[in-house]
A and B are shown apart, each in its own frame.
Chain A
Amino acid sequence: MPDHRTATPDPMTVPSASLPATGDDRLWYVYAVGRAEEALRAVARETSGLYGEPLHAIECEGLAVLASPVPAADFHEQALKAQLEQLDRLETLARIHDGVVARAGTRTTVLPMRLATVYVDTERVAEMLRQGSGQFTSLLAHLTGHQEWGVKVYALAAPATPPSSPVSRASAGPERSVSPGRAFLQERRAQRRSRQDAFRAAGAVAARVTDTATAFARDRVAHRPQQGGPLATKAGENISNEAYLVPVEHAAAFRDELTALGDAEAGVHVEVTGPWAPYSFATPGNAAAAGRGAEHGRDPDEGQDHVE
């Protein structure tokens, strides 16, 4: 996979001593929920979270949540909003959050939390586990043995020639006699046709992508296509942006077959990303879908490796 790394701030460590050990000055940031097993406890022992603080596995009802303390000053509503609107801060937070979740995901099945989920104290975290235990258990069973993979389809339109450029006028050749206005319109039409062709081809590939990927996957979620902007990493226009929940044993075939669909069509690119922790399959909207597959009879205590 190409390196799309965006610049990140230099690693900086805030000494743990700067965090109050207890009291109202700190909050608990939660990363992921899993089963209360040794694999998850080991992740907590070996990993640090935001501010370099050690992770804690807070357990309740056979489940455990990975959490670490954060300063209340940075995570109260207004402070957090201000920080998240700075892209470098957001990126640091997102990468540390994903770092913890991904690391846990290489050891066992975890349910990732949405970014910036913060509780007042560990009792409230445990209470959240108790209240959600039925849903968490069912979701974890649904996710076990699976990885999330992303699939994006791009239309790569031919580079547009500015209609008024002398080169394009000269190249009009036999049509030189047409008026400049008409030549301009003809050129615009030709460009539009080329764009339409690229989009038609990409649309056809996107449909094949969905068919092929669905055959492998247990679940599918469509994200909004990515619309350029400062974070865009790819040439061309993103026309579909989907996530699939794929059994680990089919992951390699999934990636290869989908990538090949893009290679087979000029002007279309298919990008496959992953494996991801199952972020796209952890939302309440997917709980109903989770129910469908939950009884497919995997041992819920079976530790699953999500190693690449």
Chain B
Amino acid sequence: MSHKCLRCGKLYENDDPQVIKGCTCGSIFFLFIKDKSEMEKFQEIERNLKLNRTSLEMELEKEFIKAANEENSFGVETIKNPIDGVYEINLEALLNKQPLVILKNGRTYMIHLPSVFEKVKERD
């Protein structure tokens, strides 16, 4: 017979005055645990929740990495200028003489024509 704080998880015995005053963490909400079997059931639920949370976190992390990789990938542009003062440079493309194309704010492409013509000349 105990009370478990719903915020911090601290356990209090039935006769603990803190149950009336509220938990030391400030919460006044407790889960009443009747007996040992209920305690075990509760612990199992907690374990499952933790597992689910971990897999959700992993999923989120995967999504984050995917998004970050997409952010680093380049399309036709050789330089990205997502915000003023930040530049992402596709070194490999520029070293391979790809034309200078700047993607500004993720929506406007600026094409440096001389470098495009240079590339065309090279192909001919």
Q: Are A and B genuine complex partners?
A: no
